[in-house]
A and B are shown apart, each in its own frame.
Chain A
Amino acid sequence: GAVVSQHPSWVICKSGTSVKIECRSLDFQATTMFWYRQFPKQSLMLMATSNEGSKATYEQGVEKDKFLINHASLTLSTLTVTSAHPEDSSFYICSAPRLVVNEQFFGPGTRLTVL
């Protein structure tokens, strides 16, 4: 099946620093990718839709200036958490849809811990 990778798998950073997370579709092109956040024992919450060649679409309540998304190519989207704070600590998961098979493929996730 299609593979989506994320890098890094986990990251610990100090409060106030910025962290970049990469999401790559390894064997297919994705004009759209999705970024989710998941807090412990909760469901996935869509943060934003990343669109290749245009601006990302953010869900209500998600600060676009804090969570910067860049869809640089048809296989790469990045999420940068700027000026991270402890409340940003979470599990971040990206996904990429393959419409021809009516599926979304999820990355392995990135666990962010902000001290």
Chain B
Amino acid sequence: ELKVEQNPLFLSMQEGKNYTIYCNYSTTSDRLYWYRQDPGKSLESLFVLLSNGAVKQEGRLMASLDTKARLSTLHITAAVHDLSATYFCAVAGNQFYFGTGTSLTVIP
């Protein structure tokens, strides 16, 4: 069974700072997804990464995928309070395997 681990689980950071969330997975896959979840809400798609070396950016978030290392990163640049949420990565195998989630709190 494919296992997906995220690090860190909880993150508190000040506005304006940078940080990276890591997503490691255990077996080969070339499809990785990042989602955002606000409290009480469902998942909002952020990025779809479909090949080794893929890099996508949207606003203050940038995601990358290294299929050889089985690693994806979600980099936050100059964090703002509105980014506070839980972020999940998910790897596509014969189903979607979700990471443990990273709960991000951005402090003004």
Contacts and interface: CB of A to CB of B under 8 A. Distances in A.
B29 to A, nearest CB: 12
Given A43-B88, A102-B31, A102-B50, A108 B99 contact: no
B88 A44 contact: yes
Given A41-B103, A102-B31, A46 B45 contact: no
A43 B40 CA distance: 13
Interface string B63-106: 00000000000000000000000001000100110111101000
Interface residues of B, number: 19
Interface of B: 31, 33, 35, 40-43, 45, 48, 50, 88, 92, 95-96, 98-101, 103
Interface of A: 1, 34, 41-44, 46, 49, 93, 95, 102-109, 111
